[in-house]
Chain A
C-alpha cells in the first residue's frame, strides 16, 4: 500500500491533473499531455517493466483512450493507468512501444479497433482486419453495414505508415517500405501446416537466413470482444472456451473469476478444488498436444500418436464430468456446471499413475533423439529482458529465465496452498521451451495428486441471481493459461451487459517476438521456433 501512495505522489508530481479513480480495481487517469512523461517515469524509475495488458477503449464523451496494466517483475507490484483523447475524430496518444516492446502489436490492435493514432509508432498498420477495411469496429458508433463480405483477394500494403507530431500540434503521416525492393520475400501461410492455424508470415531471406519477419494476424479474428458487449454476463462465458481451445477451462476460469470479483462473490472450497484440478488436467492435455505437434512438425510422427493416445485419456476424464471433449463449457459464474462424476477421483488417480512412467517414453523417443536435439538446442534464443518487454509469458518466458507464472505471482483458487515448483530454465532456446512444458506436466500431476483426495464437501454452484449486473467500475483478473498469462479486463457501467471486455491474449506477445527470435536463423528453424512458442491462433486474433 505504501508503494501505491508513493507512486501516487510521483504521478501527481508530474501532472497534478492526474486523478485516481477507485471504481472496481481502480486506476490512474492521466491527461494525455503528460502521459508520455508519466509512462517513462513508470518504466524507467519505478521499474514497471512488464506491460501485462493494453486495452483500447471507447469512453464515448470522454473520448478514445487506452488502459495500461503494468507490473514490476522484481517487486510484484502492479499499477493500472489510463489516458484518453477527447477528440474522437482524430484521437492521438503518444506511443509507448519503445518502453515496452509488447506495446507494438497492442497499439496496432488499438489503432485497428478504435482508430487511435499512436504518435511515434513506427508501423501503424492494421493488425487484424484487412487493409481496406472501413471504419473501426470496436467503436460504439461503428456501423456493421460498412463492410459486407469482400471476396476480392486482399492486397496488403507494402509500406508502413507512422505519425509524427510537428511543433504546432498537427501530425504528418510518413510511409516507410516494409521490405526493400531487392529483398527476397516469401510468404508462409495463412494455409501452411506448420503455422498451427491461419497465421501468415512474410519472411525476407538472404540465402537460407531470415533477415526479417512480418507477421500478419487476423485470419481468424472473430470479433469476440465486440460480441461480448451485446451479451449478458453468462452469455459471454461461451466465447472464452473457443479462444484458446486448449485452455478452455483456464480461460473460462479467468472470466468467471473476474465477474465474481466484481460481484464480490466468494466461491466455496469445493469449487476452488474442482477448478484447480480441471485447470491442471487441461494443462496436461495442452502440453501433450504441444509435444505432439512439435514432434510432428519436425518429422517425428510417432510422438504425435503417443501424445494423442495419452491426451485421449485426459479427454475421457474431462468428458465424463463436463460432457465436452474440447469445448468444456464447465465453469459458471459462482461455480461449475455440474458436480464431478462419481468416478472422477478414481480415474484421475489412475491416469496419474499411468502417465508418470509414460513420460519416460517421450524422453526416450524424442528428447534424447539426436535430430531433435540438434534442431532444438541453441536455436531461437529469446533473452530474459526481451521476454519481459514483449510480455512473453508462460513456458516461453520461463524458458528464458523469467519466473512469470501467475499461479505464483498472484495465486488464485488453490494455488496458494499447494506445493509445486515453478519450472524456470535459463537458455531461452527451443529446447528449453520444450523442456519447460515436459516438466510442467509432472508438476501439474503433483498439484492434482495433492488435491484429488481432499476435495471437500460443499456446493458446486453458489446461489447467484439469475440476472447478473455488475456495479460500475473495471476489473482485471488473470490465470496461468496453458501458454501464459490469460487475463480478462471488464469495464462495467452497471448494466447486464459489459461495457467493454478485453481478453489478454497469451499468444499475441509470442507472435510479436517471432521477428526478434528468428532474425539471422535458418528458415528451417522457423518451424521449430513456431512449434516451441506454442501459440494458438484463435487466441491471438480473438
Chain B
C-alpha cells in the first residue's frame, strides 16, 4: 500500500526533491505495517500534516518575512499552518527564522526540548542554515543543525515568502510519509532515535569545509 503524500495545492511533479520522499516511502514499506494500523496512520498523518502549528520564533530579518506569510497576502493559514503559538508546548514545529548566536543557542535548545513530540524544525534563511553572512563571526552559530535536528532547509537571505510556503509544504509531505502508531518512522525505539539524533548533531564536522565569504 502506497502512502499518499500529495499536497492539494501543488502537483507532485512540481516538487523538486521527489527522490527523497520516495526514499522515505520505501523505507516505510520495507518496515511493513498491518492494514488497519496503516490506514489509521494515513488518516492521522493527513490530519497532522494539515494542521501544523508553528512556534512564534523570530530572531531577526527572516522573522519579518515569517510575519508576512502570516498576513493576508501569503496567508499560510490556507495550507493548515493556522495559528502561530507563542508557547513551545503547543507548537508542532519551530521555524528558526534568523541568526542564532552563542547566547541564544542554549535558549533555542531549551525551546526545542520543551516542545511535545512529534516535533519538527525548519531552518529558514542562510543564517539558520550555515551562519549566512555572519559565518565568520565570533558569536554566531554556523547552522542550527549543530544544536537541533533540522527537517527542512529553506535557503535565501531572506527566503521569499513563496519559498517559505514551498518549504512548509515539503514539511507536510514529510509528515505524511511518517509512521505515527508504533514508534517513529525509523523502525527503532524512540529512545534509540533520540540518542542517534543527538549523536548526529553533535559530531558533524564537515560543515567546516565550505567557505561562504563574500556577501551578496
Contacts and interface: CB of A to CB of B under 8 A. Distances in A.
B138 A144 contact: yes
B65 A147 contact: no
Contacts of A220: 59-60, 98-99, 101, 104
A222 B59 CA distance: 11
A153 interface: yes
Q: Give the one of A128, A220, A237, A312 with max B CB within 10 A.
A: A220
Interface string B120-149: 000000000000011011111100001100
A193 B141 contact: no
A5 B98 CA distance: 49
Interface string B55-91: 0111111011101100111000000000000101000
A191 B137 CA distance: 23
Interface in B27-59: 56-59
A132 to B, nearest CB: 11
Nearest to A296: B67
A245 B64 contact: yes
Interface string A211-238: 0000000111111101100110001011
Contacts of A226: 137-138
Nearest to A319: B160
Contact of A221 (B103, B105, B106): B103
A327 B215 CA distance: 12
A323 to B, nearest CB: 10
Contacts of B106: 150-154
Contacts of B105: 149-151
A191 B158 CA distance: 21
Nearest to A309: B72
Contacts of B111: 191
A382 interface: no
Q: Interface of chain B, helix or strand or loop or mixed?
A: loop
B216 interface: yes
B61 A222 contact: no
A95 interface: no
A434 to B, nearest CB: 19
A527 to B, nearest CB: 13
Given A137-B138, A308-B67, A309-B72, A219 B61 contact: no
Given A223-B134, A224-B134, A227-B134, A325 B104 contact: no
B134 A329 contact: no
Given A147-B102, A222-B101, A308-B68, A537 B60 contact: yes
A-side interface size class: 35 or more
A336 interface: no
B204 to A, nearest CB: 13
B24 to A, nearest CB: 30
A191 B57 contact: yes
Given A218-B103, A326-B61, A151 B216 contact: no
A144 B208 CA distance: 15
A271 interface: no
Nearest to B104: A219
Contacts of A289: 64
B134 A222 contact: yes
Nearest to B114: A191
Interface residues of B, number: 44
B110 interface: yes
Interface centre among B56, B57, B133, B160 (most CB of A within 10 A): B133
Given A289-B64, A325-B65, A190 B104 contact: yes
Contacts of B147: 151
A153 B101 CA distance: 13
B158 A327 contact: yes
Contacts of A197: 58-60, 63
A309 B74 CA distance: 10
A223 B160 contact: no
A245 B61 contact: yes
Given A151-B105, A219-B107, A538 B138 contact: no
B139 A222 contact: yes
B109 interface: yes
B139 A326 contact: no
A305 interface: yes
Contacts of A407: none
Given A144-B138, A191-B107, A309 B71 contact: yes
B64 A137 contact: no
B36 to A, nearest CB: 41
B160 to A, nearest CB: 7
A305 B67 CA distance: 10
B139 A242 contact: no
Contacts of B71: 292, 304-305, 308-309, 312
B5 to A, nearest CB: 30
A225 to B, nearest CB: 10
Given A137-B138, A223-B134, A151 B109 contact: yes
B199 to A, nearest CB: 15
A154 B103 contact: yes
Nearest to B131: A222
B146 to A, nearest CB: 7
Contacts of B140: 222-223
B139 A235 contact: no
B113 to A, nearest CB: 11
A441 B140 CA distance: 36
A153 B216 contact: no
A189 B146 CA distance: 23
Interface in A221-272: 221-224, 226-227, 230-231, 235, 237-239, 242, 245-246
Interface of A: 128-130, 137, 142, 144, 147, 149-154, 190-193, 197-198, 218-224, 226-227, 230-231, 235, 237-239, 242, 245-246, 289, 292, 304-305, 308-309, 312, 325-327, 329, 537-538
* For the complex of A and B, 3 pairs with smallest distance between CB atoms: A308-B71, A238-B215, A223-B137
Given A218-B103, A226-B138, 8 more contacts: A149-B102, A153-B106, A190-B107, A193-B56, A197-B59, A219-B103, A221-B101, A312-B68
11 contacts: A150-B106, A190-B107, A191-B111, A227-B134, A237-B215, A238-B215, A312-B68, A325-B158, A326-B158, A327-B61, A538-B99
